[in-house]
Amino acid sequence: MPFDLKEIASISGMPGLYRIIAPTRSGVIVESLAEKPVRSVAQARNRVSILQEISMYTNDAEHTVPLAEIFDRIRKQYGTDLPVNAKSSSQELSAFVESVLPDYDQDRVYASDMKKLVQWYSLVNQFVPYTEEQEAPAEQPETTTAEASTTSEAEEAEKPKASKKKAK
C-alpha cells in the first residue's frame, strides 16, 4: 500500500494520531502527527491501535478491507480535498464512504467510525509520505551469445588465478 501505516497509531484517551518512536518498560514513546510534533509516553493502560491492523466491515461476513487500502481509494478518487469533514452529517458521511467502499456494512460501521476515517485520512495525508505504486519491473533484455561468451571467458580466466592463490 502506498501509505505506510505500520508506525502510525491511535491511542485511547489521547486525541489525534501518533507515530510510534520506541518501546519503553511501561508503554511506548510516541510523537504526535501535527505541525509541531510533541513526544510523549503512551502508558500500557492506554489501548494503542496500529492503523495497519485496522479494517472496515463489508457485507461479506468473511471479508474486511484494510484501512490502508481505503486511504488509497480515497486518494485516487478525491486526492487531498475531501467533500466531507468530521462535522458533516451522518448522511453525507455515509454517501462519502459508500462512494469509496460501495459494499461496506451499514449496520456495523457507525457514523463515529466514518468521522474517524475522515479525520485520520486528513492527518495521514498531511503528515505521512505517499509513495506511488511501483510498476512491475521491466524485463531485462536477454544477453546476446557474444556477451555471454565474453562473460564466461572472463569468469573462467579468473577462476584459475583464484585457485592458484589458494594453492600457495
CA distance linking residue 83 with residue 167, whole number of Å: 75
Residues 36-84 have pLDDT tens digits of: 999 999 988 889 999 999 999 999 888 999 999 999 999 899 888 889 9
Find all residues with CB under 8 Å of 72, minimum gap 6, and list them.
Answer: 1, 2, 3
Residues 86-116 have pLDDT tens digits of: 888 999 999 999 999 999 999 999 999 999 9
Number of residues that make up the chain: 168
| C-alpha dihedral (153, 156, 160, 163), degrees to nearest 10 | 150
Q: Which grid coordinates are listed for 51?
A: 492503523
Name the CATH architecture for the domain at 8-127: Orthogonal Bundle (1.10)
Reported as type and span, the H/E element at residue 71 is helix 67-78
* pTM, two decimal places: 0.73
Domain definitions of the chain by residue range: 8-127
